[in-house]
Amino acid sequence: MKRILTAIITALLLVMMIPAPNAVAKEYHWGFTKAKDGNPPDAGAEFEQVLREYGAFYRGNPEKKVIYLTFDNGFEAGYTEQILDTLKKEDVKATFFLTGHYLTSASDIVKRIVKEGHTIGNHSDKHPNMARLSQEGMLKEWQNFDRKLKEITGIERTYYVRPPEGVFSEELLEVGNEHGYTHIFWSIAFRDWDTDQKKGKEYAYQELVNQLHPGAIILMHTVAKHNADALPDFIKEAKQQGYSFGTLDELVFDYLVDEMIWGKAS
């Protein structure tokens, strides 16, 4: 009997020592309470902590009237060049988060974006749910995009990434960090991607102005005509209110300087 009990205990110990399957990483869906009256949006304590821990950004310094324009391009709908015309006229630089499909299907526009001094961001190659990929799959999405970008523009690689539909995990942020990618989310956005809803430029203009706040990272989709039409008036209004337009490089640099000097960057 003693031998039987010993065998059972030994077997149970062996089972307990077998590593458990990795738990499925918690999947986050980016979101926040919209900014109002010039005050920054509320992303909640959990999001604030996670993004800070992994060096990701959704806004800049809330005490500086600098804003950052970013555009997501999954496919071309005929409005990106109008947006580029406005940016050139107003002397504003922006970041365009592109997909692999956009790189190959709108390569002439991609070359213009680069030529006019804008930044290319990595919105993944195939636009999957990045949080559900293996680490190898995550890296493959970014690197396949970078390979295509180099073939088309000569740019070696990207440094700023944005997960499709704002879906992410801590693992995704960590893998990005390990390979030199910084995640960029946003603090101003609105329902502008539905091409079936043509709401007119006043809709886009009011959404942008009503949510405007210092340090804003603005997300707009280039597929929307109302965005392209509203952009000139919005830029003029923002400048009139005392805002300037910065780049993501400037955003990250300012953050690092504040951290080194004060140890309390926002």
User: What CA–CA distance (Å, rounded) separates 52 from 50?
Assistant: 5
Whether 221 is catalytic: yes
Q: d(Cα 100, Cα 244) in Å, to the nearest integer?
A: 31
CA distance linking residue 228 with residue 221, whole number of Å: 9
Contact 64, 241 (CB under 8 A): no
pLDDT digits (tens, 9 = 90+) for 101-154: 999 999 999 999 999 999 999 999 999 999 999 999 999 999 999 999 999 999
pLDDT digits 0-9 by tens, 29-72: 999 999 999 999 999 999 999 999 999 999 999 999 999 999 99
Residue of 118, 221, 226, 254 marked catalytic = 221
Residue 72 bears catalytic tag: yes
Q: Tell me the per-residue pLDDT of 221-266, one tens digit each, with 9 for 90 and over.
A: 999 999 999 999 999 999 999 999 999 999 999 888 877 775 655 5
pTM of the model: 0.88
35, 213 Cβ separation under 8 angstroms = yes
Q: Which amino acid is at 168?
A: F
Tens of pLDDT, residues 197-207:
678 899 999 99
In the prediction, which pLDDT does 205 show? 97
Of 72, 146, 192, 229, catalytic: 72
Strands of 106-228 (E only): list them. 119-122, 160-161, 167-168, 182-183, 217-221
In the chain, the domains with their CATH numbers are 50-261 (3.20.20.370)
Q: Across-strand partners of 168?
A: 28
